[in-house]
Structure 1
Amino acid sequence: MRIKLGCRIGYTLAAPTPMVALLNVHYSRFADLEGPDHLHTSPGVPVTSYRDMFGNWCARCIAPAGEFEISTNCIIRDSGEPDPYVPDAMQHAVEDLPSETLTCLLGSRYCDTDLLSETAWTLFENTPPGWERVQAICDYVHNTVQFGYEHARNTRTASQTLTERVGVCRDFTHLAITFCRCMNIPARYCTGYLGDIGIPLPHAPGDFAAWMEVYLGGAWWTFDPRNNQRRIGRVLIAQGRDAADVPLTNTFGRADLTRFEVWTDEIA
């Protein structure tokens, strides 16, 4: 299938403000793009790009004072298949894990493993290791936390999500990642596009989504504790230890959000 995707984000700025944006499709999907997903700004300003420590493509610019918009729009080809399901994917012993996965076992800004380790083992010690254990974690988070945009708070940690039992997709993801890491399963945070392809109406307004990837059976696999079902048309933008590593935009100064549009539409 072909999917048209993109975004338009607007700000009001009191002064010229440096900005970093992670809005380009992840390099692992470059070959699926029908054309480059260049970032556009209004008014136009010079934009330079670099790769961060996780390999994500980042764009930086200086946004002028006043009204400013940053946008992208492209078409990507997708298999049309739902997220993979590999129930026999095994959990590795820590000593057998590739060295590059070990960072994804450690605590991070929003994934406070030190506070949730005992809880994780109490909840999941008796689940079968591997895919079934990760699914049990996703089931628990999905059934325990109530989703609502009114619950959004950008400082909420995984342990606070468990205590408050409310949040948005990033909070579901942080809690599930933290439980996985506590159970010695490498897990990383992902952000990207996830439309409503294959989902019955009504649909909520377009938004970016957060999910996680876990390392099982020698590969990284997608799990989505917020939706807790296999979805079609998931398009990765960036990966990191948690949301602190992959903010969609990061402004180094006051910036008031005035516009936020995201679209992910199947092309017939």
Structure 2
Amino acid sequence: MNLPLLPDLPPHTLAIRIGCALHYDVDEPAPMLLMVQPRLATGQELVAQQFSIDTGVEIEQLRDSHGNHLLRMMLLPGANRLQHDAVLFVSAEARDTTTRPLHEPVFTAATLPMDVLRYTRPSRFCESDKLGARASELFGHHVPGLATARAICEWTHRHLEYRYGSGDPSLSACGAIDRGYGVCRDFAHVMVALCRALDIPARYVAGYMPLFQADDSDIGLDFHAYVEAWIDGGWQVFDPRHNRPHVGRVKIAHGMDAVDCAFATIYGQASTAYFQVWSYPVDHQRERVGDPVQMPDYAAGAASAAGVGGSGS
């Protein structure tokens, strides 16, 4: 069998294989929205992709108000096995703003584009309207813009203790600050809320994070949450959970908070029977979409140690 010829890997680029396998058991038909497809953006080029559901139901492609890709389908009574698999080209250089300098023109509410201005407002899980005084006390002495965002990222990283499996879908940024620990979802909510409290547009981002070039056992085993803040006339990446650059991150979606970026929204009762996420560098000419997932040794070891689950990394 002759396989289709795929494009060569461009210079300074990595091929990353991402995907997930999700199994749900339901008693009654349940509509479902699934948000696992990568968002096409600068520095993130889709090479190949496929999605399957073993019940053979019709799948509808949609986009939400933030421009994120969704799949809508019906879960049928019994077992429903879903799988998404893709290969992308991404930059081999970290895109985080942890260290690189930026020029900072002043942007105010009077000059921000409307599609950016929306991300200065409070939301259900990022109650920036309750954090104004605290944000000013903590970060008011920093130069507005990049310096402030970096300080918020570092404070969030140091203030919250990471606890794998501690995710609470009802916990907001204020609750996470008071509790003092959480998962990547909570780190992202806290930074977003504090940025917005100081009129820095910020949005919650969901994606895949490969494990290589990092020694944290949780990366690459789950979907990952991080932050984009509007600085220097564009969206800049911050990761308060890790507070350092990472290579190979793949973006799925962005929104006001985790509500807009939930990987699965089910309208009815369903139990999760199986959950697996993968994200790792690959030779895209040798290992294709649809091939058996070849989890690297380090990722397989981390998965065994941490346990694969949907609590967020």
With normalisation by structure 1, the TM-score equals 0.95
Match of 1:160 among 165, 175, 185: 175
Q: How does 1:215-234 map to 2 (within 5 A)?
A: 215-234=230-249
Q: 8 Å contact 1:89–1:130 — kept in the other structure?
A: no
Answer yes or no: is the 8 Å Cα contact 1:24–1:38 preserved in 2. no
Q: Answer whether contact 2:185 2:226 (CA < 8 A) is retained.
A: yes
Matched, 1:32 2:39: no
Quick check: 2:207–2:223 contact (8 Å CA) kept in 1?
Answer: yes
Aligned to 1:74: 86
Question: How far, CA to CA, are the matches of 1:50 and 1:96 in structure 2?
Answer: 31
Deviation at 1:95?
2.1
* Residue 219 of structure 1, CA deviation: 0.6
Unaligned runs of 5+ in 2: 1-13, 284-313
Runs of 4+ in 1 over 3 A off after TM superposition: 200-205
Question: What is the aligned-residue RMSD (CA, Å)?
Answer: 1.7
Matched, 1:8 2:21: yes
Aligned length: 267
Q: Output aligned runs, 1:83-94, within 5 Å.
A: 83-85=95-97, 86-90=100-104, 92-94=107-109
Structure 1 unmatched ranges of 5 or more: none
The structure with the greater share of residues assigned to helix is 1
Q: 2:202 aligns with which of 187, 194, 197?
A: 187
Quick check: which has more Rg, 1 or 2? 2
CA gap of 1:209–1:96, structure 2 versus 1, over 3 A, is same
Correspondences of 1:162-181 after superposition (within 5 Å):
162-181=177-196
2:286 pairs with 1:255: no
Q: What is the CA distance between 1:205 and its match in structure 2?
A: 6.1
Deviation at 1:129, TM superposition (A): 1.4
Give the C-alpha shift of residue 84 in structure 1.
4.1
Which residue does the alignment assign to 1:148? 163
Report the CA distance between 1:257 and its aligned residue: 1.1
Matches within 5 A, 1:100-139: 100-139=115-154
Q: Percent identity of the aligned residues?
A: 30
Looking at structure 2, the residues matched to 104 and 157 of structure 1 have their Cα atoms a distance apart, in angstroms, of: 17
Name whichever of 24-33 and 8-17 sits farther off.
24-33
Whichever residue aligns with residue 95 of structure 1, its letter is A
Q: Sort the Cα spacing of 1:202 and 1:20 in 2 relative to 1 into closer, same or farther, 3 A.
A: closer
TM-score (norm 2): 0.81
Does residue 43 of the first structure (1) align with residue 55 of the second (2)?
A: yes
Alignment partners' CA distance in 2, 1:120 and 1:204: 29
C-alpha displacement of 1:267: 1.5
Partner-residue secondary structure (3-state), 1:102: helix
**Mapped contact 1:27–1:56 kept (Cα < 8 A):** no
User: Which residue pairs with 2:298 in the alignment?
Assistant: none
Q: Which residue of 2 aligns with 1:62?
A: 74
